[in-house]
Structure 1
Amino acid sequence: MTFEFVGRLLAAFACGVAIGLERQIRQRTAGLRTITLVACGACLFVSLGTLMGTGVTQIAAYVVSGVGFLGGGVIMREKGSIHGINTAATLWCAAAVGVLSGTGYYGPALAGTIAVLTANTVLREISRAINAAPVSTADLIRAYQLTVVCREEDEIHIRALLSNAIHSEPLSFQSLTSRDCSDHPPRVEVAATCRTHPSHQTRLEQIASRISMEKGVSSVSWSANEAEPVPE
């Protein structure tokens, strides 16, 4: 029984090291030691159930939920983007490999390790290749703001031009606001917001160029926010 227990623990350790090395090389939050400890810990808990003759599946369920909390600790949100989801998923998979090793399923544990390493290496390069594809093929949307500074008496005319131009496809008109400037003679800043695919940005540039030639317009500018995936 002792030799069998040691064999299962060594299998979990070896699988954890294999997965953890890849994470450590990439300098991730959860590296070699963390991944190996998760795999060994999962193996120990399941082995305890085997040694005591209790329900292994119940203990495995507790391991899954416990590792879920651990994975949540490596997920961080910064400047609108989320980091650490892949590392959290790797921790979860390492626990699964440890559970398989602890129950004596060495073949499935090895297969799981290979699957995790393949996902973090081969699929990583495929993901990069897809992300490098032209933006015209990506399912993205971006918010743009077009700002026009004009004479006070031309405000209504400029608002009408912006509204008519941006209401047309492929631009999705969002808002139109005005505010007084502290210039003399009196000036008004008219700002229009729209959303569209980044490939249609030239349409916005054409509108800006057209309005800049209007009499009474002193300046025209536009800005874009970070592109976001289109909601499902």
Structure 2
Amino acid sequence: MEAIRNLNLASLLDTFVSLTTAFVLGSLIGLERQVRQRTAGLRTNTLVAVGAAVFVDMANRMSGHDGAVRVVAYVVSGIGFLGAGAIMKEGANVTGLNTAATLWGSAAVGACAGADLIGEALIAALFVLASNTLLRPVVNRINRRPVDEEASEATYRVYVVCRRDAQAELREKIVELLEAAQYPVREVEQHAFGQTDAEIQATLYATAVDSSELDRVTAALQAQPGVSHAFWDSSAEE
């Protein structure tokens, strides 16, 4: 009855404090990622933190700091292979990360139970379930919100379509107007556009912008002689 002898209220309280810390800090990290709508979001980061805490806490109780260090290495290499099988990539879309993290958390619960740390396994299971159930409404609420352009990280580009004989002057004008708006240009490219026109593409250093500022810049560019179109767009960064 090793499992019953291993039940210790002081140790269980210590485990609870460790997992609560991992849960809270993992949630904070995941919340920031979820707000930015990254693939590994709120629940995924929380599960990783809780799972790692369970493994290390268990090894530390069983064989001290040396055992905990060894378990960390095994967790990184072993569960990584298991989780990789659950992750699917289709073009730019990646699915299965939360499943992989749940597998990691489940492995932590199983490891505790196998080591006769029944109380620790119960606590770990409760936290894994909480990550996947209690946090789900929070994730759904965040995902229903439109992306805040000032909080998001993206690559921003300004485009101008103009007559070819005006592109040299307009290239300088684009750089001038953007720098005046505090959006320095990282790169400028020019391409032929149809038989008589050219397209100028300016990529910004900024990863977050005020959309109204860029609207004013493109409106000023649209008013320049020889310009037929001026607009800007963004693409998400990982």
TM-score of Structure 1 vs Structure 2, range by shorter chain: 0.5 to 0.7
> Cα distance, 1:163 vs. partner?
0.7
Letter in 1 for 2:168: I
Instruction: Write the distance in 2 (CA, Å) between the matches of 1:107 and 1:141.
Output: 42
Q: 1:111 to 1:143 in 2, by over 3 A?
A: same
Instruction: Write the distance in 2 (CA, Å) between the matches of 1:137 and 1:161.
Output: 25
Q: How does 1:179-194 map to 2 (within 5 A)?
A: 179-183=191-195, 186-194=196-204
> Cα distance, 1:213 vs. partner?
1.3
Instruction: Write the distance in 1 (CA, Å) between the matches of 2:210 and 2:105.
Output: 41
Which stretch of structure 1 is more off in the superposition, 166-175 or 118-127?
A: 166-175
Q: Indicate the SS of the match to 1:220.
A: strand
Q: How many residues align?
A: 171
Q: 1:142 to 1:75 in 2, by over 3 A?
A: same
Q: 1:121 to 1:169 in 2, by over 3 A?
A: farther
2:207 counterpart of 1:223: no
> Cα distance, 1:225 vs. partner?
1.3
Q: 1:96 to 1:188 in 2, by over 3 A?
A: closer
Q: 1:216 to 1:128 in 2, by over 3 A?
A: same
Q: 1:166 to 1:77 in 2, by over 3 A?
A: farther
Task: Tell me which residue corresponds to 2:116.
Answer: 104
Instruction: Decide whether the 8 Å contact of 2:175 with 2:184 is kept in 1.
Output: no
| TM-score under structure 1 length normalisation | 0.61
2:84 counterpart of 1:72: yes
Structure 1: any 5+ residue segments left out of the alignment?
5-56
Instruction: Say which of 210, 225, 234 aligns to 1:200.
Output: 210
> Cα distance, 1:224 vs. partner?
2.2
Letter in 2 for 1:71: G
In the TM superposition, what whole-angstrom CA distance separates every residue of 1:162-200 from its partner, at most 9, and x where no partner exists? 0111224542422112233342xx322222122535551
Instruction: Write the distance in 2 (CA, Å) between the matches of 1:106 and 1:80.
Output: 42
Instruction: Write the distance in 2 (CA, Å) between the matches of 1:189 and 1:144.
Output: 16
Q: Indicate the SS of the match to 1:86.
A: helix
> Cα distance, 1:136 vs. partner?
4.2
The two structures, once aligned, show a CA RMSD in angstroms of 3.1
Larger radius of gyration: 1
Task: Tell me which residue corresponds to 2:33.
Answer: none
| TM-score under structure 2 length normalisation | 0.60
Q: 1:81 to 1:138 in 2, by over 3 A?
A: farther
> Cα distance, 1:221 vs. partner?
3.3
Q: Indicate the SS of the match to 2:161.
A: strand
Q: How does 1:88-99 map to 2 (within 5 A)?
A: 88-99=100-111
Task: Tell me which residue corresponds to 2:175.
Answer: 163
Instruction: Write the distance in 1 (CA, Å) between the matches of 2:150 and 2:141.
Output: 12
